[in-house]
A and B are shown apart, each in its own frame.
Chain A
Amino acid sequence: MKVIPPQERFFHFEDSEKLKNFFLKACEVFSDYKFIMLPTLEVYSPELYGEGTLLIGSSEDGSLICLRKDWTLSLARFLSLQREIELPLKVFYWGNTFSLKGEGFQVGIEYLGEPSLKAELEVIKRLAQYLSACGVEPLLLSLGHVGISKELLKRYGEGYKESLLRKNFSELSKIEPLKELLLAQGGPEVLEAFQKKYPEFDTYIEELKALMKGLKELSVVFDLSELRPQDYYTGIVFEFFHPSLGYPVAGGGRYDGLYKSLGKELCAVGGAVYLDLLLEL
């Protein structure tokens, strides 16, 4: 197998200054959140990290060591080891992530132990507040719910997952509900239309509608076919877009299942801002 070394990237003084200010802004905006530092070296487990993890060697006992791929996972590993956590808990972090593609820089927040939409509202609003504090405007918020796509994939086969992730109209047109899922993208009217046809997804759609009511100050679009590459998301997922960049500047969602897989009952919503991408604005 070919091993691609991570792309090395130097941040010149100008970019370094920007990264510093992103951090200082985060300290300001998330002053009511608990700041956390987590280890960069972690023990690798394939079920948790999946493909693309940057392995760097083995430890004395023979376990594989990798570099932090995802703050959410690192935090979950840490918290699941704690015997007692005071809930609800709000955490913010700042630092790099590593994958075979290279190094990334993130600021992120996690809201743990809040099962209601209050958590989604809080995380989305605060990230929007942070982005505008960093001068990233105008913003477009795209909302989805992985519950719908996950159930439809169960019905029609996981083979369509790649097509959903790639929004492949040619492939998905073979199955009417998957095609309609793909077309359920746009303003609130797409929610109504989809709900009428597929009343079995009522709970999910109602969640999205309720969320929208609380986010009146943001420009919101919906995309019901949205899935995240990370499997741990279980509910509402979101992404922030800026008109002059081809990719999202921030993203996240609800991941109630992650802690369960680590042996702890804990619901959570989180999201991160991709700082290295913001440098291009």
Chain B
Amino acid sequence: MTELRIALPKGRLFEESMELFVKKGIIPQPFEEGRRLSLKVNGYEFLLVKPSDVPVYVENGVADVGVVGKDVLLEKKPDLYTLLDLGIGFCRVVVAGKEEGREKYLKSSYLKVATKYPNIASQFFSEKGIKCKIIPLSGSVELAPLIGLSDFIVDLVQTGRTLKENNLVVLEEITTSTAMLVCNRASYRNLREEVLGLVFRLGKP
């Protein structure tokens, strides 16, 4: 049997993925998110990569399947099969800002928005007919409205604690996100048995 290569996201989704894979009997016990970026467990090869890179690995065929948040899929729009909603890693993609900015947010037709999700943000605002200037950042997005880099942010919210600690509030929800199991077009056919086997094990209640 050929070994299935699975790209897993480091960080936020990693632990929940581990829990799920153990619960469904795919691996015997969770492994640590350490320095090793590739390991073989139970007939699978796992690649531990940056969450937004998961679709890149899978799309190019170096990984057969991967675990990736809907937020990343919406942002990058990769050409992949989205086989299963894994139901883990629930979070929301929201517009947030300072409470005193709420009126401006509702009335203004020009907004400055800092975000890690330039595509999601610009699509969301252009559909509403709001002109916005996107300020692309790759981290610490919550800082932007505090120091006047932007009026608002579009970001992922899980518990809302980071927002609260920075005195920011959710102004509008854009979408919700959970993790999906994705697969590329070739592996779906070339490794049919292996891919479907994984889908059934992960999908069974």
Contacts and interface: CB of A to CB of B under 8 A. Distances in A.
B192 A167 contact: no
A: contact size bracket: 20 to 34
B12 to A, nearest CB: 21
Interface of B is mostly: helix
B109 to A, nearest CB: 16
Contact of B188 (A2, A167, A243, A244): A167
B126 interface: yes
A221 B82 contact: no
Given A1-B126, A167-B81, A167-B83, A245 B186 contact: yes
Nearest to A165: B81
Contacts of A171: 85
Interface string B75-109: 00001111111000000000000000000000000
Interface in B155-205: 183-190, 192, 196, 199, 203
A246 B83 contact: no
Given A1-B126, A2-B126, A170 B190 contact: no
Interface of A: 1-2, 140, 142, 166-171, 173, 183, 185-186, 221, 223, 239, 241-248
Interface of B: 58-62, 79-85, 122-123, 126, 183-190, 192, 196, 199, 203
28 contacts: A2-B123, A140-B189, A142-B189, A167-B81, A167-B83, A167-B183, A169-B83, A169-B199, A169-B203, A170-B83, A170-B85, A171-B85, A173-B203, A185-B192, A185-B196, A221-B192, A223-B189, A239-B185, A241-B189, A242-B186, A243-B186, A245-B61, A245-B186, A246-B58, A247-B59, A247-B61, A247-B79, A248-B186
